[in-house]
Amino acid sequence: MDRPLDDLTREEAEDYALPGDAGLIEGGVEGAAAERSAFEWRHAPQLDKHVRVNLRLQEREVAEKFMADPKHMRIYTVLTLGCFGLWLAMFPLTMMQIIPIWPCFLFATFIAAVGYIPSHEAMHRNIGRPGTKYHFWNELVGQVATLILIFPFSMARLMHMHHHYHCNDPVMDPDYTDGASGPIMAWVKTWLNRQPGADGSIHHYKRCLERIGTPEAQVALRDTMLLQLGSMGFLFALAWSGYAFVACFLFWLPRHLGLSYIRYWLSWAPHHPRDGLDRYTNTRVFRTWVGHWLSLGMQYHIVHHLYPGIPNHATKYAYYEMKPILEQRGVDCSPL
Amino acid sequence: MGALVIRKLLYWMPFLFGIGFIAPLTAQTMAYWQIDAPLGLSRIGFGLLFGGLWGLYANIRGRWI
């Protein structure tokens, strides 16, 4: 295996001394965040080190069974590229009135909302690890899957890694601004955060990238600005050429609906109330009436944060096998 | 220099969005529903006025509504 299985806190990393991604975790998360917080942070119960190590070994045994296999991940590549190609084709087809615009609007909204999932797998290099023949496809999927959201892959990957390393930290977690008191406010916030003067969504990401300041962050910042300008230029050109409805219903509106859906289900719902700082409390297990598919599998998001190498479609099965171990670690598994 | 120009463009994006997208969208929506522009304006003239002012409002206030 060429990757660490899971994300570790600094303290736990000392127990295991794993190389790789775990070494990227920056310190000061618990101390700094807790000092700034107005409320008490939730932590998993302190267990004896022997028990902890034993449970972790059991957890890892389960996780290993569900880790992404590039051969089984091809479906993500096929669906992403197919949907992207279809979306592009819809522009001339609707402009020439060969097909009506409303089914295209529904399709564009669908891929805007769901396209983040393959991109997310690519961010974690689950579609193809570097140095393998699948890596090219991994990067390609990442690049095209969120174009409809005007969300460049370089920025998405960097921000998502920071979210993992600093999950729920009010300052360091780029997604912390999605926090809201309840579901209705969370939907409203997804929209408020996108307002020109708001400190949320992509505006917050840009500020995070400026703060990080590494060459990768500068590239991501440049990509973001160029993609934003290019996309606006494309929208304006379409609109002024007499195809404002096409621009609106194939790109602009699906993007906004998709972003709100993603922000709610992938950020707010699994992390609410964002009061946990360690690996067993920074997400929650929850039940929703919309079910597994419409919630994009986020009810089992804890598995993703523990083992990002497990692909989204497998987190449900991994969760149920891991559930007794998670309960011993203090995770509230009662909803599912 | 290039970065500065891009930053300026992005700063004024709500206003540009108003005239670049909202204006033609307004005019084409009015044409679709066969609504005439008020005050003897053309539809695109009305769209530019409406979109430009709305975009400017968003630029100044930092929010669209």
Cα torsion angle, A239, A245, A250, A252, sign: positive
> For position A3, what pLDDT does the model report?
55
Distance CA A152, CA A119 (A): 10
Tell me how far apart the 2 most distant CA atoms of chain A are, in Å: 69
Give yes or no for A247 touching B (CB within 8 A): yes
Alpha carbon A16 to its chain centroid, in Å, reads 26
Give yes or no for A102 touching B (CB within 8 A): no
Distance CA A60, CA A318 (A): 11
Interface of chain B toward chain A, CB-CB under 8 angstroms = 3, 6-7, 9-10, 13-14, 16-17, 20-21, 23-25, 27-29, 32, 58-59, 61-64
> How many CB atoms within 10 Å of residue A3?
19
Distance CA A81, CA A140 (A): 9
Q: Tokens 């998360």 sit at which residue?
A: A29
Q: If you ran DSSP here, which 8-state letter would residue A177 be given?
A: G
CB of B64 closer than 8 Å to CB of B31: no
Distance CA A66, CA A309 (A): 8
Average of per-residue pLDDT across A243-264: 98
* φ, ψ dihedrals at A42, nearest 5°: -85, 135
Cβ–Cβ below 8 Å for B32 and A245: yes
In total, how many domains does chain B have? 1
Give yes or no for A252 touching B (CB within 8 A): yes
| Closest residue in chain A to residue B6, using alpha carbons only | A225
* φ, ψ dihedrals at A276, nearest 5°: -115, 140
Cβ–Cβ below 8 Å for B21 and A228: no
Break chain A into its structural domains and give their ranges. 10-56+277-328, 74-270
Among B7, B21, B58, beta carbon nearest to A247 = B21
The gap between the terminal CA atoms of chain A, to the nearest Å, is 31
Distance CA B55, CA B20 (A): 10
The reply to whether ipTM tops 0.85 is: yes
Distance CA A115, CA A118 (A): 6
> For position A30, what pLDDT does the model report?
40
Where in the sequence is the domain holding B37, given as residue range(s)?
Answer: 2-61
Out of A30-39, A104-113, A321-330, B19-28, which region has the weakest mean confidence (pLDDT)?
A: A30-39
CB of A287 closer than 8 Å to CB of A300: no
Q: pLDDT class for A180, splitting at 50, 70, 90?
A: very high
Cβ–Cβ below 8 Å for A239 and B24: yes
Q: Which residue of B11, B16, B25 is the best one to mutate when testing the A interface, meaning the one whose CB has the most A CBs within 10 A?
A: B25
Whether A335 shows a pLDDT value over 50: the answer reads: yes
More confident site: A5 or A272: A272
> How many CB atoms within 10 Å of residue B39?
7
Query: What are residue A42's DSSP bridge partners?
Result: A276
Cβ–Cβ below 8 Å for A236 and B21: yes
> How many CB atoms within 10 Å of residue A131?
8
Cβ–Cβ below 8 Å for B28 and A245: yes
Q: How far is B25 from chain A (nearest CA, A)?
A: 5
Among A222, A225, A245, beta carbon nearest to B10 = A225
Cβ–Cβ below 8 Å for A225 and B6: yes
* φ, ψ dihedrals at A204, nearest 5°: -65, -40
Distance CA A124, CA A109 (A): 24
Q: pLDDT class for A39, splitting at 50, 70, 90?
A: low
